[in-house]
Amino acid sequence: MVSFIRNVSFDCPDPYALAQFWSEVVGHPVDPDFVPSDTEVVIEPPGGPRLFFQAVPEDKTVKNRVHVCLQPGDRDRDAEVDRLLALGAKVLDDHRTSGGDGWVVLLDPAGNEFCMTRSAAERQS
């Protein structure tokens, strides 16, 4: 028997607000059973692990040891990075190269790290 990924969990001070941000990132709604005052909130993308947001009292203080790596679906990496910045993400570290390779490390509004890689089309060129 093997294990499967049940959740990708995010610690944060305001689970509903952070779930709203990630809902825009992944294009799937926050589960309608949750409300802004909940201490746990879920997004359930079809075919993927749940995104689970939980309230914690402390702020993030060190680098994540595990993080989410995203790949844009219908646009290139740089356009997707721009979209995420407009949603409230911040660039932590930029590993893009002049030749078009690389990735960008971003922070969500609660300070959790995630990466944006090149699209499938960009990888083929």
31: CB partners within 8 A, 6+ apart: 41, 42, 43, 44
| pLDDT tens per residue across span 5-62 | 889 999 999 999 999 999 999 999 999 999 999 999 999 999 889 999 999 998 888 8
- Tell me the average pLDDT across 76-93: 97
Which DSSP letter does residue 110 get?
Answer: T
Q: Which two tokens stand for residue 41?
A: 């909130």
45: CB partners within 8 A, 6+ apart: 26, 28, 51
Residue 30 or 123, more confident = 30
For the sheet with 40-43, list strands across it.
7-12, 50-55, 40-43
pLDDT value at residue 89: 98
How open is the CA angle 4-7-73, to the nearest 5 degrees?
A: 95
CATH superfamily of 67-125: 2,3-Dihydroxybiphenyl 1,2-Dioxygenase, domain 1 (3.10.180.10)
pLDDT value at residue 3: 76
The alpha carbon of 114 is separated from its chain's Cα centroid by a whole number of angstroms, namely 6
CATH (residue range 1-58): 3.30.720.120
Percentage of the residues of the chain whose pLDDT score is greater than 70: 100
4: pLDDT confidence band, cut at 50, 70 and 90? confident
Please list the residue range(s) of the chain that carry CATH number 3.10.180.10. Answer: 67-125
